[in-house]
Amino acid sequence: MRVSADDVICGVPASAAQKLMRRYRSARPAESACGVLGICCQAAQDRLALFEAEGYLTRESDGSAGSASWLTTSRGDALARATSGKPGRVTAGRHLEQVVARARAYNADPGRLLTIARITVLGNGLDPAGCYGCLELAVSAVRRERDPDLYVRKVLAYARASGRRFGAFHELIYWPDRELRMVLKNRSPDISITDDDTGSLEPVYAVSDDPGAIAPAPDVKCRRLASARSSVSPT
pLDDT at 233: 38
User: pLDDT tens digit string along 213-230?
Assistant: 998 777 777 877 754 443
Supply angle C-alpha 169, 172, 176, rounded to 5: 150
Predicted pLDDT of residue 56: 92
6 or 202, which is more confident:
202
- Summarised one tens digit per residue, pLDDT across range 84-138 is 655 444 577 888 899 999 999 999 999 999 999 999 987 655 454 444 467 888 8
Mean pLDDT over each residue of the chain, to the nearest integer: 82
Q: Quick one: pLDDT band at residue 181, thresholds 50, 70, 90? A: very high
Distance in angstroms (rounded) separating the CA atoms of residues 69 and 65: 11
Residue pair 223/143 in contact (Cβ under 8 Å)? The answer is no
Is the pLDDT reported for residue 235 higher than 70?
Answer: no
Q: Is 19 helix (H, G, I), strand (E, B) or coil?
A: helix
For 69, the enclosing helix (H) or strand (E) is strand 69-72
Instruction: Check whether 64 has a pLDDT greater than 70.
Output: no
Query: If you average pLDDT over residues 28-48, what whole number do you get?
Result: 90
Give CA–CA dist 158/101, Å, rounded.
23
Q: How far is CA 53 from CA 75, 162, 193, in A?
A: 12, 41, 20
Question: Whose CA is closest to 83, among 184, 185, 191, 171?
Answer: 191
205 with 119: CB under 8 angstroms?
yes
Please compute the mean of the pLDDT values over residues 180-198 and round it to a whole number.
83
Q: What percent of the chain has pLDDT over 70?
A: 80
What is the gyration radius of the CA atoms in the chain, in angstroms?
20
Describe the crossing of helices 92-107 and 175-185 by its angle, rounded to 10 degrees: 140
User: What amino acid occupies position 89?
Assistant: R
- Domains, the chain, in order of start with CATH, read 2-84 (1.10.10.10), 92-234 (no CATH)
Q: Which DSSP category does 28 fall into?
A: B
Are β-strands 233-234 and 164-165 bridged in parallel, bridged antiparallel, or unpaired? antiparallel
Whether 46 has a pLDDT exceeding 80, the answer reads: yes
